[in-house]
């Protein structure tokens, strides 16, 4: 852990030095927000259900200082484009990373925060488009730094909601609350068991000798964005049909497996599959929390496997590359569980791997995946990390 803190501190120091070179003054604040990996509970957040993600060490850092000219400015060495807008003007969308910055500023303003003019510098080691929530970590780090500059701190749970609004309404991506929330409240060594309806959450400790290993398939199929919206719409349609039979149900999360068994015949095949995934996945999250708490690794592994199969066959958001990564992972020693993670259609798998087996796991999975697909996977190894924090 000491290494991670030092590495994070070093990132912040370097960013502060670069900030000085660019803006001619030191930053007043540097904030860090992590990426995330979801252990189980996929496509349940926007159905009012349960999720079990963890924050990871890969993070976004934002350095910020107030300025006097009424301008919000932001840049990054790593990505093209920059923000330079008058704070009280209407911001136009640019379809670049800069939309996350202006989107967060607008959502904060809409929430009633008296924002001040500020210069921002952004750096991130969360890979883009890998399903590890680079966008939520950017939003949360930007929000934290703008609030610190405005001397108007808000709790991370509140910030998560504001950043989700930024992404839904200003960036135009219809995500649920999971990514921003865990980036806000993540805790070292723990997964976050979150009820996405009440937003109540509990920390579930992960064993110290188990690593979170993320294998990046290095593909992001172009259907991803549109299919995400389509899945959301299909869940809503399934809910509407089920409500004709079960009028007390508010979201798919309220439908018990027994009720579903009685009512599934009222749904057309496609919607039946979508609803079956969500209803069973919610149960799997509850059972995974119990398995983790009782150190029942065999059960946890089965639940992660069942989740992957359900995402592949019923929710249809996996892809051949993710299926291969899961297949190779499961054949390795020291693997407690493996499945696709995040929205799907590419991105990463999540693997719970005993520390002593991690090096061998990484080599074997990388070799087999590259042999089969011609793509070298990026493999990230992390412990569960802390959420949003002011570093400087
Ligand atoms: C993306 C979204 C999340 C969640 C997952 C699927 O990561 O941003 O809100 O819906 O997909 O579980």
Joined together, the tokens standing for residue 36 give 């995330």
Ordered by start, the domain boundaries in the chain are 2-206, 210-382
Distance 69 CA to ligand 1 centre (A): 38
Q: Is the CB of 380 under 6 A from ligand 1?
A: no
User: What ranges in 150-223 are assigned the alpha helix state H?
Assistant: 156-165, 178-185
Distance 44 CA to ligand 1 centre (A): 8
Residue among 35, 36, 39, 45 to mutate when testing ligand 1 (max atoms within 8 A of CB): 45
**What's the Cα-to-Cα distance from 55 to each of 155, 188, 222, 333, rounded to whole Å?**
17, 8, 26, 25
pLDDT (average), residues 361-370: 98
pLDDT value at 5 more than 60? no
Does 127 sit in the ligand 1 pocket, CB within 6 Å?
A: no
Could you tell me which of 70, 104, 66 has the C-alpha nearest to residue 84? Answer: 70
CATH architecture of 210-382: 2-Layer Sandwich (3.30)
Burial letters 298-309, b for 16+ CB under 10 A, else e: ebbbbbbebbbe
Confidence of residue 222 (pLDDT cuts 50, 70, 90): confident
Q: β-strand 71-76 against 118-124: which pairing, if any?
A: parallel
Residue identified by tokens 């030191």 is 26
User: Cα of 298 to ligand 1 centre, how many Å?
Assistant: 26
Q: What are 56's two structure tokens?
A: 């990871």
Alpha carbons within 13 A on the beta-carbon side of 377 = 33
Give the pLDDT confidence of 145-165 residue by residue, as tens digits.
Answer: 999 999 999 999 999 999 999
- Catalytic (active-site) positions: 179
Q: How much is the average pLDDT of 183-190?
A: 98
Range list of β-strands (E), 27-165: 29-38, 50-51, 53-66, 71-76, 83-86, 118-124
With a 6 Å cutoff on the Cβ, whether 347 touches ligand 1 is no
**pLDDT band for position 2 (50/70/90)?**
very low
- For tokens 């860090």, what's the residue? 32
Q: Is the CB of 176 under 6 A from ligand 1?
A: yes
Ligand 1 pocket check for 175: Cβ under 6 Å: yes
Asked if the model's pLDDT at residue 297 lies above 50, the reply is: yes
User: Which among 271, 300, 306, 279 has a CA at the least distance from the CA of 210?
Assistant: 300
Task: Compute the Cα dihedral for 349, 355, 359, 361 and give only its sign.
Answer: negative
Please give the Cα distance from 101 to 82 (Å, whole number): 10
Evaluate if residue 1 carries a pLDDT over 70: no
What pLDDT sits at residue 4?
A: 41
Atom of ligand 1 nearest to the CA of 136: 8
Global pTM? 0.97
CATH classification (class only), 2-206: alpha beta
DSSP, collapsed to helix, strand or coil, labels residue 101 as helix
8 Å CB contact between 121 and 82: no
Is residue 339 classed as helix, strand or coil in its secondary structure? Answer: strand
pLDDT value at 133 more than 60 = yes
Percent of the chain's residues with pLDDT above 70: 98
């Amino acid at each position: 852990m000491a290494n991670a803190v030092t590495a994070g501190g070093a990132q912040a120091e370097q960013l502060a030095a670069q900030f000085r070179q660019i803006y001619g003054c030191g930053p007043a604040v540097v904030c860090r927000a992590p990426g995330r990996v979801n252990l189980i509970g996929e496509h349940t957040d926007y159905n009012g259900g349960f999720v079990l993600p963890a924050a990871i060490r890969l993070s976004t850092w934002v350095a910020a200082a107030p300025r006097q000219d009424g301008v919000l400015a932001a840049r990054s060495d790593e990505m093209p484009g920059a923000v330079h807008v008058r704070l009280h003007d209407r911001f136009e969308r640019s379809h670049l990373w800069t939309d996350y910055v202006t989107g967060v500023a607008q959502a904060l303003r809409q929430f009633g925060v008296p924002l001040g003019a500020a210069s921002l510098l952004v750096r991130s080691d969360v890979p883009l488009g890998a399903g590890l929530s680079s966008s939520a970590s950017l939003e949360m780090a930007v929000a934290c730094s703008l609030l610190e500059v405005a001397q108007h701190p808000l709790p991370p749970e509140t910030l998560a909601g504001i950043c989700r609004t930024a992404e839904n309404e200003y960036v135009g991506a219809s995500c649920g609350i999971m990514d921003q929330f865990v980036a806000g409240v993540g805790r070292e060594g723990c997964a976050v068991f979150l009820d996405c309806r009440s937003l109540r959450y509990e920390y579930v400790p992960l064993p110290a000798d188990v690593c979170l290993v993320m294998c990046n398939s290095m593909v992001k199929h172009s259907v991803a964005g549109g299919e995400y919206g389509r899945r959301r719409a299909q869940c809503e349609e399934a809910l509407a049909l089920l409500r004709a039979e079960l009028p007390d149900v508010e979201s798919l999360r309220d439908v018990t497996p027994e009720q579903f068994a009685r009512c599934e015949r009222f749904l057309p095949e496609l919607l039946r599959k979508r609803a079956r995934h969500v209803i069973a996945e919610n149960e799997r999250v509850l059972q995974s929390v119990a398995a983790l708490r009782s150190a029942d690794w065999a059960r946890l592994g089965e639940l992660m496997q069942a989740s992957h199969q359900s995402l592949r066959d019923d929710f249809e958001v996996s892809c051949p590359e993710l299926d291969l990564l899961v297949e190779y992972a499961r054949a390795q020693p020291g693997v407690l569980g493996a499945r696709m993670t995040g929205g799907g259609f590419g991105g990463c798998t999540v693997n719970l791997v005993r520390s002593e087996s991690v090096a061998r796991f990484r080599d074997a999975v990388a070799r087999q995946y590259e042999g089969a697909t011609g793509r070298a996977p990026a493999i990230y190894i992390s412990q569960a990390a802390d959420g949003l924090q002011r570093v400087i």
